């Protein structure tokens, strides 16, 4: 590294959904006025022919508006599916019928959320960053040195990059967070989510279902055509045993849990299990460093909020960076970083703990608890204003939300 090497305004470690969305949002707002690079050793996701995508994300309305505003939604929409209704039921695996306790319907033609494959979201953002001229560096971050005016990121291939602001978007096991010595607190759930794509006989009509079964939530989430994605929570050992079954036995186990409404079912993908964890970083900022996405927090996917929270970080941080740079200020200054941390801390703590509580409340089969929670669900179902409020909160696009989550340009 020499003194004549360029100093980037922003270098982002991690080029998946959170990192790429941040790069695109900032570059789109500031154009050539910002020097920005994304560092990631992994190539963008392969096309569907190479390896059909498996993991899906439910994109809430606020994050969808962000994706639309920065120019990525157009490429995601053709393979996304709108969720127009959602039913929540509580019951046992072998119950002949599980009655819905809580319904949500779309309002004013606006879907509750959209389902998309995570790989499609990343591929669309990657192509957008290329169009916008975001510089890409294919190497992992291996060293970190914060400084008074610039920070230095050392890459495993020996290169070094200097930046006024570095962003850790490098996932739950963030190397950059560890190098910056920011502790992360949390716990493992003895739960894994079994994920697969299921083809079914009848149309889902945009309906999603969440079944609270004794081992944890079982979600059926609509995909384009007569297909749905499942996220099936089981204890880790049981999940391992289930994914080791042959396809026929796996489908038989699935039939006990799946909704009969969709008729005959078959496996339309491979099956994988993802272990679940709750984790939150002690701080979201350090000297010349901000954390976004899973690098900052990992939440239980019970309400499909992980990436949504990450995109809410992106909206807040992009607004901070663009606001500072338009005024000729330093995007990595302590006051800019403090602003970002202040905006995000409460939302992340409230959402993370809320999902943890919900998972604990619903992942067991105690009779009295079941009675109380079912009563709670039915009470909520009869309170239309509360339901509207819950949809608005989950959507993250409320009045005080950062501009991009309201679809407003930076």
Q: Please select the residue that binds ligand FAD; options are 306, 332, 352, 395, rule is CB under 6 A.
A: 306
Size, binding site for ligand FAD by CB under 6 A: 34
Q: Please select the residue that binds ligand FAD; options are 24, 26, 29, 39, rule is CB under 6 A.
A: 39
Note whether 167 binds ligand FAD by CB under 6 A. no
The whole-angstrom distance between residue 406's C-alpha and the CA centroid of its chain comes to 18
Least CB distance from residue 66 to ligand FAD, whole Å?
12
Least CB distance from residue 394 to ligand FAD, whole Å?
10
Contacts to ligand FAD from residues 47-76, by CB under 6 A: 55, 57-58
Contacts to ligand FAD from residues 10-29, by CB under 6 A: 13-19
Q: How many CB atoms lie within 10 A of CB 364?
A: 14
Q: Please select the residue that binds ligand FAD; options are 169, 239, 286, 315, rule is CB under 6 A.
A: 169
Question: Which one, 64 or 164, has the nearer CB to ligand FAD?
Answer: 64
Q: Please select the residue that binds ligand FAD; options are 26, 76, 141, 239, rule is CB under 6 A.
A: 141
Q: Please select the residue that binds ligand FAD; options are 307, 355, 391, 404, rule is CB under 6 A.
A: 307
Q: Please select the residue that binds ligand FAD; options are 162, 164, 175, 312, rule is CB under 6 A.
A: 175
Contacts to ligand FAD from residues 229-268, by CB under 6 A: 231
Contacts to ligand FAD from residues 343-382, by CB under 6 A: none
Q: Of the listed pieces 23-31, 35-43, 209-217, 346-354, which binds ligand FAD according to CB under 6 A?
A: 35-43
Note whether 318 binds ligand FAD by CB under 6 A. no
Residue entry with tokens 């299921």:
198
Q: How many CB atoms lie within 10 A of CB 213?
A: 22
Least CB distance from residue 57 to ligand FAD, whole Å?
4
End-to-end CA, the chain: 34
Q: Of the listed pieces 7-15, 102-110, 200-208, 366-374, which binds ligand FAD according to CB under 6 A?
A: 7-15
Q: Hey, what are 407's tokens? A: 């679809």
Least CB distance from residue 149 to ligand FAD, whole Å?
23
Q: Please select the residue that binds ligand FAD; options are 120, 152, 294, 319, rule is CB under 6 A.
A: 294
CA distances from 305 to 84, 133, 271, 398 (A): 17, 30, 22, 16
Question: Which one, 138 or 383, has the nearer CB to ligand FAD?
Answer: 138
Percent helix / strand / coil, the chain, rounded to 5: 40, 30, 30
Which residues have CB under 8 Å from 220's CB, separation 6+? 198, 204, 208, 209, 210, 211, 228, 229, 230, 258, 259, 262
Which residues have CB under 8 Å from 55's CB, separation 6+? 117, 118, 119, 195, 272, 274
Question: Which one, 46 or 384, has the nearer CB to ligand FAD?
Answer: 46
Contact indicator for 35, 9 with CB cutoff of 8 Å:
yes
The whole-angstrom distance between residue 392's C-alpha and the CA centroid of its chain comes to 17
Contact indicator for 402, 316 with CB cutoff of 8 Å:
yes
Give the residue nearest to ligand FAD (CB): 293
Q: In b/e form, how buried is each residue of 142-174, taking b as 16+ CB within 10 angstroms?
A: eebeeeeebbbbbbeeeeebbbbbbbbbbbbeb
Contact indicator for 62, 175 with CB cutoff of 8 Å:
no
Least CB distance from residue 171 to ligand FAD, whole Å?
3
Question: Which one, 66 or 370, has the nearer CB to ligand FAD?
Answer: 66
Question: Cα separation of 44 and 55, whole Å?
Answer: 15
Candidates 229, 191, 225, 226; CA nearest to 209 is 229
Long-range contacts formed by 246-251: CB under 8 A, 24+ apart: none
Contacts to ligand FAD from residues 96-125, by CB under 6 A: 118
Q: Of the listed pieces 68-76, 169-177, 259-267, 278-286, which binds ligand FAD according to CB under 6 A?
A: 169-177
Q: Please select the residue that binds ligand FAD; options are 301, 331, 352, 396, rule is CB under 6 A.
A: 301
Least CB distance from residue 281 to ligand FAD, whole Å?
12
Please count the residues of the chain. Answer: 410
- Positions touching ligand FAD (CB under 6 A) are 13-19, 39-42, 55, 57-58, 118, 140-141, 169-171, 175, 193, 195, 231, 274, 293-294, 301, 304-308, 310
């Amino acid at each position: 590294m020499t003194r004549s090497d360029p100093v980037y305004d922003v270098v982002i470690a991690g080029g998946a959904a959170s990192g790429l969305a941040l790069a695109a949002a900032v570059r789109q707002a500031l154009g050539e006025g910002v020097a920005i690079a994304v560092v990631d050793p992994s190539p963008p996701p392969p096309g569907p022919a190479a390896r059909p995508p498996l993991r899906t994300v439910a994109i809430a309305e606020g994050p969808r508006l962000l994706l639309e505003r920065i120019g990525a939604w157009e490429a995601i929409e053709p393979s996304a599916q709108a969720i127009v209704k959602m039913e929540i039921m509580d019951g046992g695996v072998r119950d002949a019928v599980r009655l819905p306790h809580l319904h949500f319907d779309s309002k004013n033609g606006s879907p509750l959320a959209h389902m998309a494959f995570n790989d499609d979201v990343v591929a669309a953002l990657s192509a957008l960053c290329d169009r916008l001229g975001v510089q890409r560096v294919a190497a992992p971050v291996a060293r970190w040195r914060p400084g008074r005016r610039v920070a230095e990121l050392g890459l495993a291939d020996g290169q070094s990059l200097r930046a006024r602001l570095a962003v850790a978007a490098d996932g739950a096991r963030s190397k950059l967070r560890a190098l910056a010595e920011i502790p992360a607190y949390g716990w493992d759930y003895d739960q894994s989510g079994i994920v697969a794509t299921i083809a079914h006989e009848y149309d889902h009509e945009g309906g999603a279902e969440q079944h609270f079964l004794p081992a944890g939530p079982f979600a059926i989430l609509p995909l384009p055509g007569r297909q749905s994605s499942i996220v099936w929570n089981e204890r880790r050992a049981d999940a391992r045993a289930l994914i080791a079954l042959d396809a026929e036995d796996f489908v038989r186990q699935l039939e006990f849990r799946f909704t009969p409404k969709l008729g005959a079912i078959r496996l339309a993908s491979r099956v994988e299990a993802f272990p679940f964890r709750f984790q939150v970083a002690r701080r979201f900022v350090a000297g010349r460093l901000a954390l976004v996405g899973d690098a900052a927090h990992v939440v239980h996917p019970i309400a499909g909020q992980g990436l949504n929270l990450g995109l809410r970080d992106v909206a807040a941080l992009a607004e901070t960076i663009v606001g500072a740079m338009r005024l000729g200020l330093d995007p990595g200054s302590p006051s800019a970083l403090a602003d970002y941390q202040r905006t995000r801390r409460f939302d992340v703590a409230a959402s993370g703990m809320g999902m943890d509580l919900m998972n604990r409340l619903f992942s067991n089969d105690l009779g009295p608890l079941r009675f109380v929670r079912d009563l709670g669900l039915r009470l909520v179902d009869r309170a239309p204003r509360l339901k509207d409020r819950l949809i608005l909160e989950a959507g993250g696009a409320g009045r005080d939300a950062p501009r991009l989550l309201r679809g407003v340009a930076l």
